[in-house]
Chains A and B, each alone.
Chain A
Amino acid sequence: MKPELEQLVHRAQQLYEDLDLAAVRTWKQAAPGRKAIGYMPIYVPRELMHAAGILPVGILGGGDRLEIIRGDAYFQSYICHIPRSTVELALSGRLDVLDGMLFPSIGDVIRNLSGMWTMLFPGRYVRYVDVPQNFDPKVGGAYWRRELETLQGDLTRLAGRAIKDDDLRHSIAIYNQNRQAIRELYQARSWQPWVYPTSELYLFLRAGNVLPPEEHTELLRQYLKLAPLEEDRKEKDHSRVVLVGMFCEQPPLGLLLTLERAGCWIVDDDLLLGMRWLTGEVEVEGDPLANLVTAFLEQSTATASRYQPEGDRGRALVESVQHNVAEGVIFCAPSFCDPALLDQPMLIAALDRESIQHTQFKYSEDTGQFAVIREQAGTFSDSIRLWSEA
């Protein structure tokens, strides 16, 4: 690896490994009165926080490096892992740097975690972000606008400054740039997954959890520029696969590495979906709140936690397979993740209709053993190649 890229990857890796949120602390200390708010996976309107001068911080559990000492005391064995490590992070003081937490509507566990937060940390700002499941602008749209207004009011109080429309327009533009950079990166990886291995791309995406969007966009741009300069990144006889099911509890990095080493190029995924929730740009001109509402109603990505009035679960997945010229799908869901696991049979039915190959396994964010997954993914990749040759 050339030193420039190596340095860049190193930085992303450091940010990823930093469970103490040092980057957030540094950002806050750089100017008096700065505030930061955490949010759990999937969609929250980060633009509103940004416009209030608040740093939105993505909290995605503790991964595989955090030892759970206190967090397990709050969860039965049949509940997924992310709330345990998130509570552990908070109880160990690592999240003290945050001035509030937003819990998006992603499933009952994260929803209930919002209430737990209220009880565990009285006095801290907590909000459950209940996005509309009705996409009629006059119905779901009107509701969502009121919710956004309420959130805006809360953030105004928290930040101690009003959020002006121009601030919000500016923030929308900033996030449009960020989304654009991520889209370009995903597109580039889809073309040349050997140039942008997912185990690396993931680190750069994750950096966006703790960096201000401007800085994150810049980081992504640099990565886009530097990765293609690596001469030893060559195409290999791998299978092209789409990963599904990782929209909430994140897989350990070792799992992504394992899949790639087992012969799978990941050409699309639902990792860190919150950053990529809106599939297009948000209109900058005009009423900014209305623009955020419209974007949510019309441009939300298809995922398990979002209702699809038109039915046809799986269409988006089939489209992704086709668009990215993938040869198969790997369902990779966290254990006990009801949304992902209940979605699976529907997605599988859609794939079967199109004769798209698939395989499935479960993980937890702290899975430490990949032998079985390596075996399974390797076999899957081989079978795809044999199948395509036949």
Chain B
Amino acid sequence: MSATKIYVGIDLGSTTTKAIILNGAGDVLGRGITNSRSNYDVACAVARQEAFVRARFALIRTVLGREAALAAVAKGFLPALERTFHLQQHLDQLDRLRQALRQAAAAPRHRDCREQLHDRVESIVAAMREKAPALYGELAVRKSDFFRDLAAADYMHLAEQHSDPKRVTFDTLCGLFDAAILSVENSTGDGSFEHHISAALDRTLASRPAWKQSAEQLRAAVETARLIELKETGTVGTGYGRQRLPFPKEQIRSEILCHGLGAHALFPRTATVLDIGGQDTKAIQVDANGIVTSFQMNDRCAAGCGRYLGYIADEMNLGLHELGPLAQQSRRRVKINSTCTVFAGAELRDRLSLGQRREDILAGLHRAIILRAMSLLARSGGVRQEFTFTGGVARNPAAVDALRGLIKENYGQQTLNISPDSIYTGALGAALFALRGDREAA
């Protein structure tokens, strides 16, 4: 049985919690993400578990890669195994949701309709179980990676069908879900590799003749990977909730440092980092080694942060990811002077009532957000080559367009880096600190 040293970075953010696992060479073995919810400990455990699961799959890939004979089979097998694994996790969560729903239905205030409620819940969950495999099909596009979101979408849809205005109302069913999902989310459950791999493996192997034929070798490879000991040699926590992590002080780093180092790891020539997250915006300058040399954060008001776009999306009844593309359609940008979150709704309604077009208002809003970020960048020492943009807002194309334009106008042509994995930047930095700490100790 072989062992490999691993280093874990956890970023406990205000909206999401991220975990990253690195090997001794600094390669990413696994990533995990979950919504931070009200319970940070659980969020942390869930993200970690997810990262460990992914790390195992990375190991399986390595083991399979060594066997040339399996190459052809492995190509499709591994993703299928991974999907099936997640389906198993999902079904497991559904079981827990069912339990929680039954418990909630047993509350005294549902005395009059307990039995009907019970039946409806059973039917709904059964239908959800039926729909689950489709969520993890080969070409399936999931709207979210979080069980909460996926379950909620299905449940609400089904609850509408299974409710009636007299006995079991839609509101009652919604209320049950709200109570139940909270209890599911606030306990870790067991989504571990050990717990689900065997069922997932059986199911996957049975699903295709070619895999059935190579079952023995494939099982052996998975077993080899399973037995590799992952020695957690260093762990560093960061993020807004880092004080809540059950780590000793030496294992806690500010998210500024982690972001700087993480951005440097993603793009080694990074000199300036802009991170626009849910609750805050950070402008960071780093040296050639990813060491932070200066930084600025937004002031106590969250105007101009990701949350602001969230309010706008809610107000316009749009998905967050729909805002940017819509704004890009603008041809006559409206000038917006205030990015005050409190007044966002009122201002928006007012402008719409004046006949201003949604896309033009949105274009103005995106620019206003980026203008706030430009101030922070200026305060931190400007924009230097290369420039790396991270955080949730970096995934918004209209924000990126606005940023690109303003950077060019004010700082000249600069390389703008955006990684699809930018949400993990902080966790990556934290894991790198864990790795560096171990190297230095050695």
A residues contacting B by CB (< 8 A) are 64, 67-70, 72-73, 76-77, 364, 366-369, 371-372
Contacts and interface: CB of A to CB of B under 8 A. Distances in A.
Given A371-B346, A371-B350, A372-B346, 8 more contacts: A64-B335, A69-B410, A70-B410, A72-B374, A72-B375, A77-B301, A368-B335, A368-B338
Give the most central of A68, A70, A73, A371: most B CB within 10 Å.
Answer: A73
Contacts of A67: 335, 371
B299 A77 contact: yes
14 contacts: A67-B335, A69-B371, A69-B406, A69-B409, A69-B410, A72-B375, A73-B374, A73-B375, A73-B378, A73-B379, A76-B299, A366-B337, A367-B337, A368-B337
A70 B350 CA distance: 28
B336 interface: yes
A70 B21 CA distance: 40
A335 to B, nearest CB: 10
Nearest to B349: A371
A69 B376 CA distance: 11
Interface residues of B, number: 21
A31 B371 CA distance: 40
B315 interface: no
B347 A68 contact: no
A258 to B, nearest CB: 13
B372 interface: yes
A70 B346 CA distance: 28
A77 B299 CA distance: 7
A369 B410 CA distance: 28
Contacts of A77: 299, 301, 303
A368 B336 contact: yes
Interface in B359-380: 371-372, 374-376, 378-379
A72 to B, nearest CB: 4
Contacts of A72: 371-372, 374-375
Given A76-B299, A77-B301, A70 B378 contact: yes
Contacts of B338: 368
Interface of B: 299, 301, 303, 335-338, 346-347, 350-351, 371-372, 374-376, 378-379, 406, 409-410
Contacts of A367: 337
Nearest to B347: A369
Contacts of A76: 299
A362 to B, nearest CB: 12
Contact of B374 (A64, A69, A372): A69
B371 to A, nearest CB: 6
A294 B397 CA distance: 63
Identify the 9 closest CB pairs spanning chains A and B, nearest first: A73-B378, A72-B375, A366-B337, A73-B375, A371-B350, A73-B379, A77-B299, A368-B337, A369-B350
Contacts of A368: 335-338
A91 B106 CA distance: 68
Contacts of A73: 374-376, 378-379
Given A70-B410, A73-B378, A64 B350 contact: no
A66 B188 CA distance: 53
A359 to B, nearest CB: 19
Nearest to B380: A73
Contacts of B372: 72
Contacts of B303: 77
A72 B378 CA distance: 9
Nearest to A77: B299
Contacts of B376: 73
Contacts of B347: 369
A282 B299 CA distance: 48
Nearest to A72: B375
A249 to B, nearest CB: 14
Nearest to B343: A369
Contacts of B346: 371-372
A372 B349 CA distance: 12
A68 B338 CA distance: 11
B368 to A, nearest CB: 10
B307 to A, nearest CB: 16
A99 B423 CA distance: 50
